[in-house]
Structure 1
Amino acid sequence: MKELNIKLKTKAILPLASQTVINLLLTNITIKTELMSVLKPHELSLEQFNVLRILRGQKGNPLNLQDIQERMVSKMSNTTRLIDKLILKDFVKRTECKKNRRKIEVYITASGLDKLLELDTLVNVTEEKVTSKLTIIELEELNRLLNKIQ
């Protein structure tokens, strides 16, 4: 509680639920800032990076926009706009579905795969850095608790 009060510059006694939510939000910002610092030089947003990783997981198979949206970490993103930006960078390709012409399918390109290969180590190092103060047991417990909240 004391650390949070110092961060918030307040002497107010916050309910435990409020402390928890505020700490989660502050942690989210810290992690996003670290990851964005790695992705920004590559002109990628976290959401674009997330789309590329989702498509890489398809092992060459296409996904439609709705399926991509469902798998995204941030559901508030405009998936069509994200895909358009990735197309301009030649990281993904959009095609009409052969079975249903109203459906759009999205594939990751070789350039997109290359970019992810380039970023994998940088992102992994950053993730290790932001979690480095926790032991493996603490990380497992944190994940268990976060899953419980979700």
Structure 2
Amino acid sequence: MKIEDEIKQKKFINAHQKAVINLVYTVNWMQGKHQQVFKSFNITAQQFNILRILKGQHPNSTSATEIKARMLDKNSDVSRLLDRLVAKNVIVKKACPTDKRAFDVNLTDAGLELLRTLDKKQSELDNILNLSEEEAYQLSDLLDKSRG
């Protein structure tokens, strides 16, 4: 559906305004679709992001600082998110042996199993935009370009 129909607005100042509004609307729409998938697993998109970061480092541990640097949502409260994931028994936090103020974070077996289950939903998450592979590459290139 066209953005004009979605937000019931026919006029835009220019093509750039329309594109920005369309991008913001689409990001929010996409996050809602993702959240529907994550809700059935009792996690949030930010928690999923942390689990994926940890999976990329597994079996090595990662610091909370490194996780924060790699998060998609830079405004996330990583300490709170980690505590919630600990409570769900999908990660463990251990005091860093070289810096007592820092924590090393690892996936648990339950966390790995949760990610294996979510892997089965990955194509659903990836194809949410309903684009061909070529269109997805084009969109990604345009988004990279827009960030400078």
Pairwise TM-score range, normalised by the shorter structure: over 0.9
RMSD across aligned positions (CA)? 1.5
8 A Cα contact 2:91 2:106, kept in partner = yes
Cα deviation digits, residues 24-50 of structure 1 (max 9, x gap):
111111211111111101110000000
Cα distance, 1:144 vs. partner? 0.5
Partners of 2:18 and 2:38 in 1: how far apart? 30
- Alignment partner of 2:97: what SS? coil
What does residue 149 of structure 1 align with?
A: 146
- 1:15 CA displacement: 1.6
2:58–2:106: 8 Å Cα contact kept in structure 1? no
2:129 aligned residue: 131
Equivalent residue, structure 2, for 1:25 = 24
Does structure 2 conserve the Cα–Cα contact (< 8 Å) formed by 1:35 and 1:123? no
Aligned to 2:102: 103
Do the aligned partners of 1:38 and 1:123 also contact (CA within 8 Å) in 2? no
3-state SS of the aligned residue for 1:57?
helix
Normalization by structure 2: what TM-score?
A: 0.93
Equivalent residue number for residue 62 of structure 1: 61
Distance 1:32 1:3 in 2: 18
Aligned to 1:71: 70
SS in 1 for 2:2: helix
Alignment check: 8 A CA contact 2:12 2:18 kept: no
Number of equivalent positions: 147
Unpaired stretches in structure 2, ≥5 consecutive residues: none
Note closer, same or farther for the CA distance 1:21–1:98 as it changes in structure 2 (3 Å cut).
same
The 5-angstrom pairing of residues 27-66 of structure 1 reads 27-66=26-65
Alpha-carbon distance in 1 for matches of 2:6, 2:13: 13
SS at match of 2:57: coil
Tell me the SS of whatever aligns to 1:147: helix
Match of 2:85, as an amino acid? L
Query: Does 2:90 match 1:91?
Result: yes
Q: Choose 62-71 or 5-14, whichever is displaced more.
A: 5-14
Identity of aligned residues (%): 30
Q: Is 1:114–2:113 an aligned residue pair? A: yes
Q: Deviations over 1:75-122 (max 9, x none)?
A: 111000000000000000001111121211111111100000011111
